[in-house]
Amino acid sequence: MSDATLIALALLIPLAGSLGIALTGRFPNLRETVTLVTAVTLMLVVWSLLPQVFDGGRPSLAVWEMMPGFEIAFTVEPLGMLFAALASMLWIVNSVYSIGYMRGNRETHQTRFYACFAIALSAAMGVAFAGNLLTLFLFYEILTVSTYPLVAHKGDANTVRSARVYLGILMGTSIGLFLPAILWTQTVAGTLDFTEGGILAGHIAGPAVGLLLALYAFGIAKAAIMPVHRWLPAAMVAPTPVSALLHAVAVVKAGVFSITKVITYIFGLDFLASEPSGAWLSLLASFTILAASAVALAQTNLKRMLAYSTISQLSYIIMAAAVLKPLSEIGAAVHMVSHAFGKITLFFAAGAIYVASKKTELYQLHGIGKRMPWTMAAFTIGALSMIGVPPTAGFVSKWYILGGSLEAGNLVAVFTLIGSTVLNAAYFLPIIYRAWFRAESTPPSRDHGEAPWPMVLALTTTAFLTLAFFIYNQPVIDLESQLVGRMK
């Protein structure tokens, strides 16, 4: 199959899956089969693009001209390839987990859930492969809209209020800031194509660069930089599989991925490094890392704590990208992967605890490790990865980011890395301690063991991936070195 076909398939397969899910809604087993088959097919298609990108190829697909001067176009480059490969792989694991969660929890409207999930994945693929800013914006918005029903899934008053915050912030910032930024870019540069080395150099200078960067950084609120991070804790009202795949991987990574792409392909690293007015971004990212960690420390609800941890971890990626050194750029890409593995494991564990015991608060978790050893072992691995302890994935990416920051002489970034590691340890270690070494304070209302097996299977898999990535990470680094190599 030609590259263009493969790219088109990557976008269309989840859509077709969504349709199939809607049509087979009356037969749950068939419907879940459709989801799994779609997910597996998608992964095969996406991964079949990998060898070519490794060889330095840039498969592309120009669909059609939307209006004079604007094309819907896709180009696969290393960063997008990594994002798509990651999201498509984790979708399979997450689907297995969803089946356990949704059934174990007796959720309603499951057909709508799976159908919207598939559309969201299609949008994530579109974001990953977008060849110009307008295409990226198009799929970015589809992603926002298709995840709204997922966030509002439960439908009670509290959920609806949170979903309103979710939609309001994401849509408000994208229309109010991101779109004007795109327009500004179009007006000064005359093009919106992602070009190696950037398109803005020579067209804009001085404080305007900082302002434009701000429009992008805050307009792409999916990256959850403070103060546009509020939607992420609000989105925690969604069923846990949504929090796990979308709000730890697909949606938030689409945000940081978009910012990284804007920095590398629209501004250009060299151009941005030469403009002092763009330097604030790494400072703000540092602030977000520390502030979100501090807020996480004060949380009592497990999922909200994980959400603030996500905000902090996302800013690692932004900070790493904004340090503007090759090592840190690789670190940013690697952290996208390692955080994805670690955080999805943590969310899976949180969901498993909820399904098995209906517990959601941190103080309820005393002694739960004895009842759910597999779940809590996975949780421990995920938490260690968040802190950055070897032998977990988190260590690898932090190593690279630290290397890049030292190379750049960016002491703020170095200090932030150290400080946040301490904070991460401070909010994850007590949970692990309580779960394994404290006795249950009150006996649970009903006796329970592990969650349903599909969930345990899923979280064990991702925990394994978190460990495996520590050893087997060379392909990712090779892939992204290519990115840096080309940029130099």
Partner 1 sequence: MSVTAHLPALQVVVPMLTAPVLVLLRDARLCWIAALLTSATSFAIAVALAAGVLDGMDIRYAMGNWAAPYGIELRVDALSAILLLATTGASTLALLGGRRSLLREIGDARLPLFLAAWLLALAGLVGILVSGDAFNIFVFMEISSLATYILVSGGPHRRALPAVFKYLITGTVGATFYLIGVGLLYMMTGTLNIEDMAARLGDVGASDLLYIAIGFIAIGLALKAAIYPLHAWMPNAYTFAPHMVTVFIAACSTKVSLYVLLRMDYAVFQHNLPEQGLHFALILMPLASLGIVFGSLAAIFEQNIKRILALSSVAQLGYILLGASLVSAAGINASALHLFNHALAKGALFLAVACLGYRFAKLRLEDLRGAGRLMPWTLTAFALAGLSLIGIPGTAGFVSKWALILALMEQGALGVALVVLVVVSSLMAVVYIGRIVETLWFAEPPGEDPTVKEAPVMLLAVTWLAVALNFWFGFDASTSGALAIQAATDLTGSAP
* Interacting residue ranges for partner 1, rule: CB under 8 A: 64-68, 72, 134, 137-138, 141-142, 145, 152, 155, 159-160, 163-164, 167-168, 171-172, 175-176, 179-180, 183, 186-187
Main-chain phi, psi angles of 193, to 5 degrees: -70, 140
Tell me the closest approach of the beta carbon of residue 116 to partner 1, in angstroms: 11
Tell me the closest approach of the beta carbon of residue 143 to partner 1, in angstroms: 12
Tell me the closest approach of the beta carbon of residue 67 to partner 1, in angstroms: 4
Compute the half-sphere exposure of residue 198: CA atoms within 13 Å on the CB side of its CA: 20
Tell me the closest approach of the beta carbon of residue 211 to partner 1, in angstroms: 12
Q: Which of 9, 138, 136 is nearest to 79 (CA)?
A: 136
Tell me the closest approach of the beta carbon of residue 59 to partner 1, in angstroms: 22
User: How many CB atoms within 10 Å of residue 187?
Assistant: 9
Nearer to partner 1, 87 or 116 (CB): 116
Nearer to partner 1, 21 or 350 (CB): 21
Tell me the closest approach of the beta carbon of residue 183 to partner 1, in angstroms: 6
Maximum CA extent, the chain:
68
Nearer to partner 1, 228 or 245 (CB): 228
Nearer to partner 1, 2 or 158 (CB): 158
Tell me the closest approach of the beta carbon of residue 91 to partner 1, in angstroms: 23
Tell me the closest approach of the beta carbon of residue 194 to partner 1, in angstroms: 17
- If you write DSSP's letter for every residue of 79-139 in order, what string do you get? HHHHHHHHHHHHHHHHHHHHHHHHHHTT-S-HHHHHHHHHHHHHHHHHHHHBSBHHHHHHH
- If you write DSSP's letter for every residue of 174-195 in order, what string do you get? IIIIIHHHHHHHHHHHS--B--
Contacts of 336 (CB under 8 A, 6+ apart): 82, 83, 86, 253, 256, 257, 317
Nearer to partner 1, 163 or 372 (CB): 163
Tell me the closest approach of the beta carbon of residue 153 to partner 1, in angstroms: 10
- The Cα 318–Cα 331 span in angstroms is 10
Contacts of 139 (CB under 8 A, 6+ apart): 123, 124, 125, 126, 127, 130
- The Cα 268–Cα 28 span in angstroms is 49
Nearer to partner 1, 117 or 308 (CB): 117
Residues in the chain: 488
The single-letter DSSP state of residue 75 is E
Nearer to partner 1, 238 or 318 (CB): 238
Nearer to partner 1, 72 or 73 (CB): 72
Nearer to partner 1, 123 or 263 (CB): 123
Q: Is 190 left (phi over 0), alpha (psi -120 to 50) or beta?
A: left
Instruction: Encode burial over 170-181: b for 16+ CB neighbours within 10 A, e otherwise.
Output: bbebbeebbbeb
